[in-house]
Amino acid sequence: MPDDDKPKGLIDLFKTKAVAHKGPQVCEQLRQALTTLKSQHSEDGTPTGRPRDVRAYIALEAIGRRVDTFRDTIQQGGVRGYEKMKEARTYLSRLQRYGLEA
């Protein structure tokens, strides 16, 4: 672990424990939300012809590529993993709001 990623106090220790406990769940929920939303904007794995669906599908693909990075960083744990977990949660809440509005 790099020096700047080692827990420095009680709060950092809490963050490390939170990542180990919640991190994999957050990534899996994000992956499921992406799959569900992509299916709403596509037919047979390709976007429908409507411009809104094409834009949404491309954006969802980009987020999907980031999920792998999130998962890898979260698995490493530490403070950096906690920050990525927070970012993944932000994406998840935005996707859930988007899914409800769509």
56: Cα within 13 Å, side-chain hemisphere: 23
Contacts of residue 1, Cβ cutoff 8 Å, sequence gap at least 6: 76, 78
Mean pLDDT (the chain) is 76
Is the predicted pLDDT of residue 22 greater than 60, yes or no?
A: yes
Q: Domain residues of the chain, as ranges?
A: 21-101
pTM of the complete model beyond 0.75: no
Tens digits of per-residue pLDDT, 27-59? 888 888 888 877 777 777 666 677 777 777 788
For residues 89 and 26, the answer to whether their CB atoms sit within 8 Å is yes
Q: In 3-state terms, what secondary structure has residue 44?
A: coil
19-48 burial by CB neighbour count: b if 16+ within 10 A, else e? Answer: beebbeebbebbbebbeebbeebbeeeebe
Is the predicted pLDDT of residue 1 greater than 50, yes or no?
A: no
